[in-house]
Each structure stands twice: as C-alpha cells, then as structure tokens.
Amino acid sequence: MMHTTDVLNLFAEHRGDAIVIPGRGGRHWVNISESATDLPLGDPAMGGHAGFGLGLALAQPNRKVVLFDSEGDVLMSLGMLATIAEQAPTNFYHFMLDNECYATTGGQPVPNAKHVDYASIARGAGYPRALAFNELEPLRRELPGILRQPGPVFVALKVLPEVENTPIGGRVRWRKRAADKVVQDLRAELGVP
Amino acid sequence: MSATSAGALSPETVMQQMKRNGVTDIVWLPDSETNWLFLLMQADPDLRLVGVTREGHAASIAAGLYAGGRKPMILIQNTGMMESGDSIRGWLMGLQVPVVLMVGYRGYTRHGVNSDTAATYTERFLMAFNLSYYLVENDADADRISVAFQEAERTRKPVVVLVGDEYHGFNR
C-alpha cells in the first residue's frame, strides 16, 4: 500500500496544466498546490466527485481533468462509471484512492473491502483503459505514460488508511477556500462569466 | 397554437425554452413520458445529452459542467428528485450552481386528489429544501421556464420546473 501524500507528490511532478480535483486527497493536496485550477471541494455529497469530474472534463475538452476519487465514493455511484464511459472524455483521468474503509467516520470497512476489483469494474463499464497499483514504484514508472495517453482512464490505487476518530466538530479544517469560492475561482481563471 | 398544444405542453415548446435560455447540456434520466422530447433533443447537434443511471448523479455532473463554463439543465422525474436530495443539497445548493431542473410531476392531478405518493411528497420535498419552483401544465405556461432560468441566474441557486402534464405533453 502507498501513502496518499506520496501518490499526490508523485502526480504533482507530472501535472502540467491539468485541472485537479483532489477529492479525498484534498487535505494533502492543499499543501502541495493551491491555485485556481485546484479544486479542493471537500465532500459536497458522497458519491458525486466522479460526476463533477466528468462534467468539468466535458466542459473543458482541451484541458486535462484529473480526479482523485475514493473507493467509497465509487461504490456509492457505480453507475456513474457507465455514464463516464459512454461520454468518453479523452481528457479525463480518473484515479481512485482505495484505503478499504470509510476513514473519515472511524475506519469501518467498505463492503467486501479487500476483494473488490475496481479496475475490472471500470473496464466492464466501458472504460477503454483501467489499471491498478498497490505500490509506488510501479506507479512511478507508469504514470507519465498514463497521463500521456488519452482518457478516459481509471487508475485504482491502494493507499494506507488515515482514520479519523475525532468528532467532526473538533477536527482541524484543512480547506482554505469555501467550495463555492473554489468553483468561482476556476470559472474566473477559465474566463467564463 | 395548435389544438393539441393549447391543452398540453409540447416537446417543441420545451425545446424552444431550452434554446432561448442558452442550454448547452441536458443531464437526464429517461422516463417513458419524455420519449418524444428525447428524440427532439437527440436530433439537435448543438445539445449534448448526458444520461445518468441514478438521478442524484445529475447534480454533480451539472455542477462540473457549470464550473467549466457550460449551461446544463437537468431533466428527471419527481421520484428521482426525491432520491437525489443530498446531491442537490451538496452539489447544487452548496456550490451555488444556477441550474434549472425540469421535473416530471408523476401523479399530479390538477384537483389535488391523487393516489400516487410521488405526487403527495413532491412539493413538500421542495419546500423542505427551500427550493423555488414553478408549475407548467401546458404551452401557455411555458414562459415560466424562462422565469425559472432567470431566477436561477439571479440567485445562483437551483430552481425547479414541475411538469404537470407528464401523461400527455411528451407523448407521441
């Protein structure tokens, strides 16, 4: 398994001008990059990050859109994979951080946590490319090629859980901008009214 | 206005409203009553259709389209709208997405006597979520669709158009 911070730092080396939706990796990503093309939205509603990424990729076909989804979100919205595959945005790079649990609620396992083959599910839903990595070094070798080829691509990544047991009200807030401000900042950057 | 459209909401009228308000993408989940509208939308090269497998998905997709500069509209049924509550809250209201949801009002009867709980809870759901809404029953009401778009833009909130002619207007 990998550390989420290591995955994100590795990706940052190859990011280029991609729009990044860090998803559940947001708390780490804000320490790596915080610009108008970074979209640390927190968790507007579970299961929706992939849809947001799809919409953004369709709206901005000339920019790479990179999403760091989670396995809990993907499980909640498996049908979204078929929608993404049908739309087939070539600029969409769908990474999934799989820590095998609901880390923000105390680490309870997701259903069938250790036995779900997400890359196979994505492939079965129609993604032309789907890969899985358990360790950092193979990912380090393959990542440039993954990002060089057209999407949509699904990349499942096994990461170590970072379980939170502090009551939500007592947690340190990591977001530097409100979610609606994040969206407006992006629109301003893209020059859309 | 034809004899048919005088008492019904025609798909052509809905398409005109979409065009008038600059809609670029329809995020939707089909139901039988919207089939003719689907055929019209499908034939329009300037309109992108994004089909979803569950209505809540439409909220986050629409939010992403809006973030990237498009003007989406959501087309679903009231049953799916109620299923989508948390996605509407988080992705549309939370991100302040000015989007119109055209919602088929399954079970609606003008006289308020219905046997379908989908209709019973539709407006109560909208009130609970503090979502503004307009009822459209026939072509004469169609301007309310533009009113909904204007309100969405002005308030940066989702606004709902309830289509109360579900069983007639969209049928072939």
Q: What ipTM does this complex have?
A: 0.96
Do the Cβ atoms of B64 and A190 come within 8 Å? no
Helix orientation angle between A79-87 and A118-125, rounded to the nearest 10 degrees: 50
Helix orientation angle between A179-190 and B55-67, rounded to the nearest 10 degrees: 50
CA–CA distance from A193 to each of A134, A184, B26 (Å)? 42, 9, 20
Q: Peptide bond preceding A152: is omega within 30 degrees of 0, i.e. cis?
A: yes
pLDDT less than 70: residues of chain A: none
Do the Cβ atoms of B87 and A45 come within 8 Å? yes
Which of B48, B55, B65, B92 to mutate: most A Cβ within 10 Å? B65
CA–CA distance from A155 to each of A161, B46, B101 (Å)? 18, 32, 33
Q: How far apart are CA B20 and CA B73, in angstroms?
A: 13
**Least CB–CB distance from B65: residue in A50, A55, A186:** A55
Angle at A30 between CA A26 and CA A34, to 5 degrees: 125
**Residue B73: phi, psi to the nearest 5?**
-130, 145
**Least CB–CB distance from A44: residue in B48, B61, B94:** B94
For domain A4-167, give the CATH superfamily. Thiamin diphosphate (ThDP)-binding fold, Pyr/PP domains (3.40.50.970)
Q: Which residues of B touch A83 (CB under 8 A)?
A: 50-53, 57, 61
Q: How far apart are CA A158 and CA A133, in angstroms?
A: 6
B128-164: b or e for each residue (b if 16 or more CB lie within 10 Å)?
ebebebbbbbbbebbebbbebbebbeeeebbbbbbbb
Q: Are B106 and B120 in contact (CB under 8 A)?
A: no
Quick one: pLDDT at residue A172?
82
Which of B61, B84, B153 to mutate: most A Cβ within 10 Å? B61
**Residue B163: phi, psi to the nearest 5?**
-95, 100
Q: How far apart are CA B114 and CA B93, in angstroms?
A: 30
Do the Cβ atoms of B60 and A59 come within 8 Å? no
Cα dihedral A62, A66, A72, A77, rounded to 10, equals 10
Q: Are B168 and B136 in contact (CB under 8 A)?
A: no
pLDDT less than 50: residues of chain B: 1-5, 167-172
Do the Cβ atoms of B95 and A41 come within 8 Å? yes
**Least CB–CB distance from B91: residue in A52, A83, A86:** A52
pLDDT in tens, B82-99: 999 999 999 999 999 999
Q: Which residues of B touch A58 (CB under 8 A)?
A: 25, 48, 50, 64-65, 68, 70
Decide: helix, strand or coil at residue A171.
coil
Do the Cβ atoms of B25 and A58 come within 8 Å? yes
Residue B44 neighbours by CB under 8 Å, 6+ apart: B15
B31 exposure class (CB count in 10 Å sphere: 0-12, 13-18, 19+): middle
H/E stretch holding B134:
strand B133-136
Do the Cβ atoms of B51 and A55 come within 8 Å? no
Distance from CA of B164 to the nearest CA of A (A): 28
Angle at A88 between CA A84 and CA A94, to 5 degrees: 60
Quick one: pLDDT at residue B29?
94
Quick one: pLDDT at residue A187?
98
**Of B106, B110, B97, B136, residue with least CA distance to B16:** B136
Distance from CA of B77 to the nearest CA of A (A): 18
Quick one: pLDDT at residue B31?
75
Do the Cβ atoms of A48 and B72 come within 8 Å? no
Q: How do strand A92-98 and strand A101-102 relate by DSSP bridges?
A: unpaired
Residue A50 neighbours by CB under 8 Å, 6+ apart: A67, A69, A73, A74, A77, A80, A81, A84, A94, B60
Do the Cβ atoms of A190 and B90 come within 8 Å? no
Whole-model pTM: value is 0.95
Do the Cβ atoms of B52 and A54 come within 8 Å? no
| Cα-Cα end-to-end distance for chain B | 17
Do the Cβ atoms of B90 and A45 come within 8 Å? yes
**Least CB–CB distance from B54: residue in A39, A55, A79:** A79
